[in-house]
Each structure stands twice: as structure tokens, then as C-alpha cells.
Chains A and B, each alone.
Chain A
Amino acid sequence: MSASITELPPTAPHHHVPPESFLRKYVFSLDHKVIGKQYLGLGLIAVCTGMFLSWIMRYHLAFPDKAVPLIGWIAPTFAAGGVITPEFYLQLMTMHGTIMVFFVLTTAPFAGFGNFVLPIQVGAEDMAFPRFNMMSFWVTFVAFAVLVAAFFVPDGPPLSGWTAYAPLSAVGKASGPGEGLGQTLWVISIGIFCIGQLLGSLNFIATTLDLRAKGMTLARLPYSTWAWFITSMIGLIAFSVLLPACVLLLLDRVAGTSFFIPAGLVVSDAVQPHSGGSPLLWQHLFWFFGHPEVYIAIVPGFGIISTILPAVCRKPHLGPRVLIGCQLAIAGLSYMVWGHHMFLSGMSPASATLFSVPTLIITIPAAIITLLWLGTIYGSKLRLSTAALFCLGFVSVFVTGGLSGFFLSQPSIDTYLHGTYFVVGHFHFVMGVAAMFGIFAGTYFWFPKMFGRMMNETLGKWHFALTFIGVYATFMPMHWLGLEGNIRRYSSFPSDYMHGSLPLHRFITFSALFLGAAQLIFLVNLLWSRLRGPVAPDNPWEATTLEWSTTSPPPFDNFGGVHPVVYHGPNEYGVSGPRGDYVMQTDPPMAATPVAATPVAVT
């Protein structure tokens, strides 16, 4: 890491003055730190909502003949007396998937942590475009409000799943209850969401490229910043495709166009006045976004884990350039694999093979990244903070979820598993749980920087232990259900079909409720630590990156009027220097001595 600093761009002057009014300070703030917290707050509300919906579904799957407690009171229109109808189940499922994928897994690890941390990590005073940044959050907030509004329209929320396959989602009320105004709101919401994410992605890219501090070469960028930068590039292309797709779907619904509706459809005994459209076009456009979306959710987790692991292992990350290269490879390959979601769709069977190959190949960089994490943990001096535990948990669940992807990437096996719970188990592990572990690791790690207070480690470790067990108990059995042929998107298996799966479904439900209850510990810890947690030092983890060189929390301009100059990479752990076994990126040049430049026998 010995790049020259003479040719680097100077840090840009601050774009705006400190806010004075309450609205400017806390609501319509231009400060990236406030906006990051707003995104995380939105993610917290969304995850609580999405999880609550999943509990209703799981309770109903376990006890299909029983009324769900309290639901009759909360949603008397859709679940009178607490009875979950099949269509209400599908509506809950659609909203759960949409909220979790878009408003939790995209907003929290990328927009939330990225907004708060990225500008400080590159040594900037704010994002490149603070007003765009503010707009990005509020546009996303409006998208969430529009989506939630679907609960309050006469037909209720949509029931076509988070993928909103046409023509079910396109022909309107003709295709049945749940496809009326609620589906229109869904399309509008996702379209608005895309705008917010495009603004955010542009901002992240511009900030990373243009606002780096003196000496912050690309090679010295922290791994989390690299991950957010790569995610921005993925998002910029992915959301650019989903946005027009949503516009076309909206036009099909409200303007009588036929982008996704073919001729001769007979829905509810009436021939539909459409012709010339293609349902497969929606699938192609959606999955061209949808598969990269998996990486939008998980790559920030890669970065968070790769930033925290060296700090808690007290040794440099193994193969940092390989790590970045693999993430770039994953980003590139993510645009060549969308067809594996469509093996059964009726597209040319020959193309299934073509999509299968890059889908299998993408496992190679993912496997390399996992081995780099294992190699980093190997022979380290592990400091087992809660953040460290969630990093270790991330590695475990990512391995589990990633390996089940091997089955689904082969069309002839996918032919059997495609519509089963195996897929549910797979994507919950690799996309949902792994990303959530990244979010938890990031929260426990950066909370002191965000709020100036430490989180309670005892509560944190209980939270991790119960969550880790709950996650495996909930999602691993779904693979077994899938192997049995238990299909998803059924509200219950009460009579004959797959009735034998009921005991396993009940086990999963109890595990899911246990897992949910464990999250109460996190919420209590979050609230208690925010109000009563011990005051955080500037660098409680003895980490190297720039955010730890400023106060906790940072001042309005991040560095108190000082423009940081960077002399080191982020990976300077396991050395011998004035601070101990690490060198911060802003420490002046010095002859830090690597403690273990070559393999050293453990004594």
C-alpha cells in the first residue's frame, strides 16, 4: 500500500451549512449521517412489519384450523374472527416479500450503513449531492407509505407475490380479488423506490470517486466502501431496468396497453381486450433486476464482514485485492444469470443451459471470498464482541445458503425443486439471514460511532446465540420440506395434500416465533444503549479506518474542520506500532513492523 498521494484530488469543501431548525436537523436533513440513520430507522420499521406478517403466515401454516390471535381485531376486513383465508395468506406473503426485499435488505445494509459510514470512510464531509441524498430517502419513504397504503384499500394488498408475474398482475381486477387498487399501489411503490435507489447509487459512486481525502487511493479504500461502491454500480443498472418495467406494467393496468398481456386471454369468463404482449418479457425484465438484487442485498454484507473481521481478529484480511476482484466478478456475473429463475418458464430450453453455466461459475468467486474469511480467522487473536459473533454467524449461514444454490442452478434438478420450500430455505439463508447478520454486525460495530454510546455486550451475545440457533431451526427444515415436494405459496395443508408435512411445519413455526422473540432482546438493547449505554470512546474497537479517527459521534462536518490525509491502507493490523497492533489510516508514515509477515508457529 505505497501509493503516491501527490496526484490525488483534494477534499471538496462542505456543500452546506450546519442546520439550525428542527426540520432541517432531523427531518429534511442534508447530513449524510442523519439520512443514514433515517434509512436504518425505516429499515427497522419495515423489518418489524415484515416479520409480524410472517408470524401470521407461520401460525396459520401450523394451525390452519385455528383463528390467529388478535388478527381479527387488527384486520377485521380481511381476517374476520382471526380466520386467515387463502387469499389473505397470499396478500400477507406478497407484502412480506416486498417489504423485506426492498425496504429491509436493500435499504439497511446499502443505503443505511452506506450513507452513514461511506463519506466518513473516504474522508469526505458529506455526500457528493446532499440534496439528492435527502430526496433519495424521502422518495424511498414515500414508496414505503404507498406500499403500506395497499393494506387500507377496499380489495386489500396485492396477492401476486413479490415478483408480480404478469398477466396476473397486469389484467387488473378481472383476475380476482387482491388484484385491484392494491396491485396498482404496489407497482407505483416499486417504481418510486427505484427512483430513490438510482439517486442513492449515483451519489455513492460520485462520492467514492470524487470526494476521497488526500491519500485515499482506490487501493486504500476500506472494504465496506468498496462493497457499497460495487453495490451502487449493480443497483444503477438493476433499478434502471426495473423502473421502466414498472411503468409498462402500470400502463397495462391503467391505460389499456398490452406490454405483458398476450391476445386471447379469457379471465373470469371474459375475453380480455389485449393483444401482442408477452408475459415472459416481464419475467426477463424483473429477473434482470431480481438476481442482481440478491447481490445488492448481500455484497454490502461482504464489505461489512470484511471490514469488521480484521479488527476483531487483530490480523490483516487475507488477500484484500482478491476479495475486491471477486466482488467485481460477482457484480459482472450477476447480470448473466437471471435466466436461472426462469428454467421452467417456457423460454427456449437451450437457454437454460446457457444460464446454468454462469450461475454455477458465480459460486467460484463466492467460494474464494468465504475461504478468505476463513483464512483471516485462522491463527488470529479473536476478540469475541457481538459484532464478531455476527460476522462468524454470517460466514456460517452464507456457506449454508450458498451451497443449496448448487441444486437450483441446475435446470434438471430445479425442475423438481423450483416451486418448493427448498427455494424458500435457500433464499432465506443466503439473502435474508446472511444480509441480516451483516446488518446486526454493522449495528453492533458502528452503533458507538452513530450515537456515542456502547451497546450492551451481554444482551448482544444472548441476542446472537438465540438468533443463530433460531435461524437454523427455522430455515434448515425448509430444505427437507422441499425435498419431499412440499410446495410453497399454499396457505395450509389441512386435508390430504402434503398433510404429512404438518409436524415439520409446526416445528418451523415454533422456531420462527422463538427467532422473533429473540429479536426483542435486540430492540431492548438498542433502546437501552441509546439512552443509558456507556459513553463510547472514539475508537472502541481499535480499528484502522477513518471513521474511528474522529469523535463518537462525529461532528457535523465529520472531522471538525480538519481534512484528513491518508497514509495507510485499511488492513494494517497485526503490526507493531505506537498504538499497539494496528496503524490507523491517518497515522503519519512510519516504519510499522509486521509482527507476522511469514507464518509463525503458535507457541
Chain B
Amino acid sequence: MGKSFAIAVSVIALLSAGVFAARIWWLPPDISALGLRIDGQLAETMVFTGVLFVAAQLALAAFVWQSTGRTATIRLFPGGPMPLVGAATAIVGLEVLALVFIGTRVWSQAFLTPAPANAIHIDVQAGQFAFYFRYAGPDGKFGVPHPELINEGESNFFGLDPKNDTAARDDIVSASLVVPVDQPVLLTMHSKDVGHSLFIPQLRLQQDFVPGLIIPVHFTATGITKTEIVCTQLCGLGHYNMRAYFEVLSKDDFAKWLTDQAGQ
């Protein structure tokens, strides 16, 4: 039984690691300026944990194989526990340092640096069970939202007051997130009801909406595409249906799209 266990552990470890290494199931193609760094960090973590995974499982298998049915005198681990403590602290500790160093740089670029000055500002509101995206319109200003004026039946998703608020009159509201390629985009995210989350796998971007907070996130899409945004924060019975399209257009197509939306 011990040798069967050793074989089973070895096969499972090598098979699992092989599937990861072959990238049979892997991340979708990246289309963001930061994606390459995030993917690199993930790949580095994958190699490090993969080596530890295979080494630990094979060591377990080898020790069990060696110890099964043994009649010889027991054998204490050479040097006692301290070499293992030192090895674990050094190997894992160094890797921890490396991951913290690399990870902090990537994280800082995404979340601790302000959006570039030329970023297009899009206001995003999540609510059960839809996303709405607001563009400032020709005047470059957003109207002020009023929660008490929100009326989905009249398509006033943000609670705007165009009668009294001139800035609100040309605001463009879309059910899809449309952005130009290679242009920084700043999202200001807020929720009108409960918690939600915006996930665009191709952008390597996921961010929660928290009621009461306005959360800024910025990104730059580097490839023309059309894909889906999904909500990943459990938000109620229609959570499974809370999706929207994410479209990256060429700069010309985006300008045309914006003009068309303003004319509607």
C-alpha cells in the first residue's frame, strides 16, 4: 500500500504539473499595458510553486517508498531540524522577498499611481444587475448624480437632473464599456445598491464596487477586441446575469462611436 501511495502521489504531482506547464487551460490573451508584467509575475510564481510542489510530493513519495516495510534501524534526519528550518526560511523567504518586490512594483503601477493626464474619464455605476458607463459629453463635465432621481424605467440610471444641471444634459450613458486602443482610461466606480465587481479577464482587471465609495481604476487597452465584463461579487439573485460588453476600438472608430452616442 505504501509503494502504491508513493506511485499515486508521484503520478498525480507530475500529471498536474504537466497540465500547468503545457498551459492547456490558461489565461486569455492579454490586451493591457500592464498585463505583460502581471502575467510575468504569475509565471514566475508558477515556476517557483511548481518546483516546490513537485519536489515536496516526490520527496513524500520517496520517503514513504523507502520507509514501507523497512525492518532496518530507524534513521534520523541528517543534522536534525535546523537545516530544514534554515532551508525553508532561506528558500521561501528569498522568494517571498522577490515576489513582494516584483509584485509591489506591478501593483503600484496599477493602483498607486494616478491615471495619466490624458486619460479618458468614464464614470461607472453598478446596480442589481447591470453596469452603466457614463461619458462626459462635449462639455467635458459630468452632471451631478442624485440617488433619489434614479429611475430605471425612465432610463435615468445615474439619477441625473438635466433640467437644473447643465453639465448633465450632454452626458452619454452606455450599457457597454467602449474605449479607444492605446489610450489611458480612468474609471470611477460606484454602486447604487449592493456590492458588485467588474472583471475583464483580458485586461487582467478586477475591482469591487463598494456602496458609499468611489473607487478610481485606470488601464490602457492595447488591442482591438470585443469581449465581456462580468460581475464577480455576489450581488443577489440575478448575479449570474450581470454582464456587459467591453469593446476596444481604434481611435477613429471610438471618436465616431462617441459622436453617434452624443447624437442619440
Contact = CB atoms under 8 A, between A and B. Distances in A.
Interface of A: 85-87, 90, 159-161, 165-168, 171, 175-179, 261-269, 271, 277-280, 313-315, 318-319, 322, 344-346, 349-350, 352-353, 356-357, 360-361, 363-364, 367-368, 370-372, 374-382, 384, 389, 392, 395-396, 399-400, 403-404, 406-407, 410-413, 415-416, 418-420, 461, 465, 468-469, 472, 476, 479-481, 483-485, 487-492, 496-497, 504, 574, 595-603
Contacts of B99: 360, 406, 410
A596 B194 CA distance: 63
Contacts, number: 330
Nearest to A89: B240
Contacts of B56: 370, 374, 399
Contacts of A166: 195
B42 interface: yes
A504 B128 contact: no
A399 B51 CA distance: 12
A254 to B, nearest CB: 18
Contacts of B88: 364, 367-368, 371
Contacts of A280: 210, 213
Contacts of A263: 212
A346 B215 contact: yes
Interface string B78-116: 101110110111001100100110011011001110000
A176 B128 contact: yes
B49 A472 contact: no
A378 B236 contact: no
A395 B57 CA distance: 9
Contact of B192 (A161, A266, A371, A377): A266
B16 interface: yes
Contacts of A315: 74, 76
Given A176-B128, A267-B128, A378-B67, A160 B234 contact: yes
A406 B103 contact: no
B103 A400 contact: no
Q: Which 9 residue pairs across A and B have the least CB separation, nearest first?
A: A319-B81, A379-B75, A419-B232, A262-B212, A485-B201, A87-B237, A480-B25, A349-B111, A375-B77
A416 B42 contact: yes
The number of chain B residues touching the other chain, given as a range, is 35 or more
B25 A86 contact: no
Contact of A360 (B100, B159, B208, B228): B100
Contacts of A171: 194
Contacts of B213: 280, 346
Contacts of A378: 63, 66-67, 75, 77
Interface string B196-218: 01010100111111111101000
Interface in B38-80: 38, 41-42, 45-46, 48-49, 52-53, 56-57, 59-60, 63-64, 66-68, 70-78, 80
The winner among A176, A279, A280, A346 for most chain B CB atoms within 10 A is A346
A416 B38 contact: yes
Contacts of A412: 37-38, 41, 103, 106-107, 110
